[in-house]
Amino acid sequence: MRSPRLPLQYLAAFRAAALHQNLRAASEELNLTHSAVSQQIRALEVQLGFPVFDRQGRRVVLNAAGSALLRGVERAYQELDQALRAAASAHGVEQRSLRVTMLPSFAQRWLLPRLGRWHALHPEVTIEIEASPRVVDLEREGFDIGLRQGLGPWPGLESEPLFDLSMLPVASPALAHQLIGQPLEALAQAPLLGDAGQWEDWFAQAGLRRQVVPVAIFNDFGILLQAAEQGMGVGLTRELLAADALLDGRLVRVAPRQAMLKEPQRYHVVYPPKVRDEPAVRAFIAWLHAEIAESRAALDGARTCLSTGMVTPMARGDALTAPGTAPADR
């Protein structure tokens, strides 16, 4: 029998599901939706002509055929990793550590779910991450790259803009369902999470003057977003930090994004001039730009459907907005 040619993404989905025995955990590792992983596994089984998993409630358990396939896939992954290292060595790229400092919220909510993709592309580079609110002296403390919020410039460092800091009110699907379609005053009366001054600036730019008393204030957007996911209130957050939760339905937009004119407007990547041309540094910065562009495109091209919690394509001009506000910008 001629061996079927299987798309590599099917095997990646199969491997992750086999190792976790759970489709949701596999989807988180691959940064895909639960349904996408499930569809890829079904497509694999259709192409093979036989099942590779037994379904046991929420678990997926390898059957005999799946166990045999996993052994071969694991060997192939090991050989591919060795080949990548050999290719890097032949090209003169040595094993390298890249030290990066950033805010905990950015590390937790956006970077970590994507680091597996970086490693797959650059297995020769070890990433050392310091997730801390402190501003470090990159050269004195031996860091290659910093991710910083502000307008700059940063003396002694070169910088490149990464993304604009648009702000967005988000809530759990249950709470958002109560607010979407209501007047803006309804949002002002809802339980609000985050800094009072930021909320008052946001409401003012939306055309409503209102004194805000939040139910909780956090020093980290990652914690704020966790509270919002648990239904504690509406969080005002950097949109990119909420990207994954918005796309998989854990959070929902309750009003359009808008820039915060009184705040620094961008995230930047900064680095000492001496590392400007180092291959690992350039590769990591290029990867950041590509991944951020992909996140923004996904956010602009999809909306969360409250009734299902799934992400659906957004029609031209469609948006989840409150009356009295403009549609989300593009």
* CA 218-295-123 angle, 5° bins: 100
Q: Which residue type sits at 209?
A: R
What pLDDT, in 10s, does the model give residues 243-258? 999 998 999 998 876 6
Write the burial class of residue 4 (CB in 10 Å: 0-12 exposed, 13-18 middle, 19+ buried).
exposed
Query: H/E/C letters for each residue in 59-128?
Result: EEEECHHHHHHHHHHHHHHHHHHHHHHHHHHHCCCCCEEEEEEECHHHHHHHHHHHHHHHHHHCCCEEEE
Give the pLDDT score at 22: 85
In this prediction, residue 2 carries a pLDDT of 47
Q: Is the pLDDT of residue 159 over 70?
A: yes
Model confidence at 174: pLDDT above 50: yes
Confidence of residue 302 (pLDDT cuts 50, 70, 90): low
Q: Please report the pLDDT score of residue 86 as a whole number.
A: 65
Q: CB–CB of 222/241 below 8 Å?
A: yes
Confidence at residue 258, expressed as pLDDT on a 0 to 100 scale: 63
- Quick one: what percent of the chain has pLDDT higher than 90? 37
Average model confidence (pLDDT) for the chain? 81
Q: How far apart are CA 201 and CA 254, in angstroms?
A: 17
pLDDT at 267: 87
Indicate the pTM of the whole model: 0.62
